[in-house]
């Protein structure tokens, strides 16, 4: 998308391809640390950062985005995503990450954690090294002068130190016992910020300790842990659960399992795939009631097939068939999703019965707090990065701003309100 071609607002102006927006107007805002001057207001941006509130009557300096009538939120963050738009993190190519960066802004995502799948040591290392180079090269959203897309915020390793009993769609051929030496090599290769592992597996204790010492968030998942084992892992510092309900021991009233530990303990954040396929809406509602808005992390767990026609794809070298919005291995096991974060939010709001005023943290603040980056993103705060998502009354994405630069603007909105 060539942003310099867009014309928006009451007065047509050319969006700069270099530099950022001077600000934007909106009707409602959630996630702001200080309240805007009611009833109408504008938010200024400067040097890619959030500036201050102005009353709308004050003259905004062009270029500004006029989305009055819409709702402004902190930009969405996806902490668990393998691919989209035909690109996959495991491709270990800039092109694949670019496809993701470009696609994700259409769905309100301003930052994501490039998530590996369980694969060979070489393939995992290649994916980590590539993501690290991509971040360093300041491509797509990381560069003030380059095109604006969703930023890669770090790397999330999903496996390979998982439970062979709960592989889900992770390739069981590559699941292996925890290895400090392999983990150290991955840490040295790039900014690994999260690792999903099974805490009950041999060697996991030492690996958890090493990860926490390196500032990596440890995430419980693909696990056969009992309630007691999962609770011990939380005591040891595990602070998040990967796709809660899926690929973990369930909640039985005498054996509460990893799920019981996740739902009942405030020390752990819960990721949720809110596509209505992985988890029943009633179970989403229960999760919301147990974890609350700031401990519920909506994720996509999307694979390269997201945003692509249905058909045959591949994940972790296993064939995946995408049909009727579900991704499955040949044996019927669910294999990631084609979910997007905006759809996840709408599905979760419907399932939980939460309005946006209550649900908004599940796509941004929860993630930022869980990852310890909430000074930089996840809140609309002066001096924070101007990563913003604009929604209409149906929680559909109207615009996405990354680092103060317009990365996406919906055509129908432009046609309705634009005069360009
Ligand atoms: Zn996954």
The size of the chain, in residues, is 420
* Torsion from C-alpha of 156, 159, 163, 165, nearest 10 degrees: 100
Instruction: Kindly give the residue spans of alpha helices, DSSP state H, lying in 216-336.
Output: 227-235, 257-264, 281-291
Indicate whether this model's pTM tops 0.85.
yes
What is the rounded distance in angstroms from the CA atom of residue 333 to the CA atom of residue 88? 20
Give the pLDDT score at 27: 84
Active site residues: 301
Q: For residue 188, how many other CB atoms are within 10 A of its CB?
A: 12
Domain 3-73+379-417 homologous superfamily, CATH: Urease, subunit C, domain 1 (2.30.40.10)
Residue 5 contacts by C-beta under 8 Å, 6 or more apart in sequence? none
The per-residue pLDDT of the chain, averaged, comes to 90
Give the pLDDT score at 7: 32
What are the extents of the domains in the chain?
3-73+379-417, 76-371
Token pair recorded at residue 284: 């989403």
Dist. CA 82 → ligand 1 center (Å): 7
Return the DSSP state at 376. Answer: T
Going by the annotation, the residues of the binding site for substrate are: 169, 246-247, 254, 278, 334-336
Dist. CA 420 → ligand 1 center (Å): 42
Give the pLDDT score at 16: 39
**C-beta of residue 78 within 8 angstroms of C-beta of residue 65:** no
Dist. CA 167 → ligand 1 center (Å): 11
What are the E-state strand segments in 131-225? 151-158, 192-197, 217-220
**C-beta of residue 394 within 8 angstroms of C-beta of residue 70:** no
Token pair recorded at residue 379: 């809140």
Dist. CA 337 → ligand 1 center (Å): 9
Taking phi over 0 as left and psi of -120 to 50 as alpha, with beta for the rest, 406 belongs to beta
What is the rounded distance in angstroms from the CA atom of residue 22 to the CA atom of residue 150? 20
What is the rounded distance in angstroms from the CA atom of residue 86 to the CA atom of residue 311? 12
Dist. CA 273 → ligand 1 center (Å): 10
Is 11 a residue whose pLDDT tops 50?
Answer: no
Going by the annotation, the residues of the binding site for Zn(2+) are: 158, 222, 243
Give the pLDDT score at 320: 94
Mean pLDDT of 242-253: 98
**Which of 76-80, 140-144, 313-317, 373-377 shows the lowest per-residue confidence on average (mean pLDDT)?**
140-144
Give the pLDDT score at 420: 33
Dist. CA 409 → ligand 1 center (Å): 29
Mean pLDDT of 184-211: 98
Dist. CA 19 → ligand 1 center (Å): 35
Give the pLDDT score at 321: 95
How distant, in Å, are the alpha carbons of 13, 26, 114, 154, 206 from that of 217?
Answer: 44, 35, 14, 11, 14
Evaluate the omega torsion of the peptide bond into residue 63 and state whether it is cis, within 30 degrees of 0: yes
Dist. CA 310 → ligand 1 center (Å): 19
Give the pLDDT score at 168: 92
Taking phi over 0 as left and psi of -120 to 50 as alpha, with beta for the rest, 4 belongs to alpha
Q: Nearest to residue 238, comparing CAs of 174, 179, 161?
A: 161
Give the pLDDT score at 148: 79
Domains 3-73+379-417 and 76-371 share a fold: no
Report the topology of domain 76-371.
TIM Barrel (3.20.20)
Give the pLDDT score at 141: 52
Dist. CA 270 → ligand 1 center (Å): 14
Instruction: Kindly give the residue spans of alpha helices, DSSP state H, lying in 312-380.
Output: 341-352, 356-359, 365-371
End-to-end CA distance of the chain: 17
């Amino acid at each position: 998308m060539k942003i310099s071609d867009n014309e928006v607002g009451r007065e047509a102006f050319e969006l700069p391809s270099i530099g950022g927006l001077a600000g934007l107007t909106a009707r409602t805002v959630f996630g702001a640390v200080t309240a805007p001057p009611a009833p109408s207001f504008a938010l200024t941006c400067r040097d890619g950062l959030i500036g201050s509130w102005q009353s709308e009557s004050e003259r905004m300096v062009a270029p500004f985005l006029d989305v009055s009538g819409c709702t402004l939120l902190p930009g969405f963050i996806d902490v668990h995503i393998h691919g989209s738009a035909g690109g996959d993190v495991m491709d270990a190519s800039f092109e694949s990450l670019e496809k993701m960066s470009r696609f994700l802004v259409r769905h309100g995502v301003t930052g994501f954690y490039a998530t590996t799948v369980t694969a060979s040591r070489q393939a995992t290392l290649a994916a980590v090294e590539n993501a690290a180079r991509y971040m360093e090269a300041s491509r797509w959203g990381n560069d003030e002068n380059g095109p604006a897309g969703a930023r890669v915020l770090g790397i999330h390793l999903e496996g390979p130190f998982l439970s062979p009993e709960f592989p889900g769609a992770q390739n069981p051929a590559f699941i292996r016992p925890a290895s400090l030496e392999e983990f150290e090599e991955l840490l040295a290769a790039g900014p690994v910020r999260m690792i999903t592992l099974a805490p009950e597996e041999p060697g996991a204790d030492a690996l958890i300790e090493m990860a926490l010492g390196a500032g990596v968030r440890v995430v419980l998942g693909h696990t056969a842990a009992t309630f007691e084992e999962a609770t011990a892992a939380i005591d040891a510092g595990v602070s998040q659960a990967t796709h809660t309900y899926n690929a973990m021991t369930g909640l039985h009233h005498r054996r509460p399992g990893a799920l019981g530990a996740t739902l009942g303990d405030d020390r752990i954040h819960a990721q949720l795939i809110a596509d209505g396929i992985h988890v029943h809406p009633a179970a989403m509602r229960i999760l919301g009631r147990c974890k609350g808005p700031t401990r519920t992390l909506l994720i996509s767990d999307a694979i390269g097939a997201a945003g692509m026609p249905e058909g045959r794809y591949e994940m972790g070298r296993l064939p995946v068939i995408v049909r009727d919005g579900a991704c499955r291995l040949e044996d019927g096991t669910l294999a990631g999703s084609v979910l997007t974060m905006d759809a996840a939010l709408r599905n979760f709001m419907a399932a939980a019965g939460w309005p946006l005023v209550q649900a908004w943290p599940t796509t941004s603040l929860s993630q930022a707090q869980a990852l310890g980056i909430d000074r930089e993103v996840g809140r609309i705060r002066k001096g924070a990065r101007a990563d913003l998502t604009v929604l209409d009354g149906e929680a559909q994405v109207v615009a996405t701003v990354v680092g103060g630069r317009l990365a996406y603007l919906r055509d129908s909105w432009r046609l309705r309100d634009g005069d360009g």
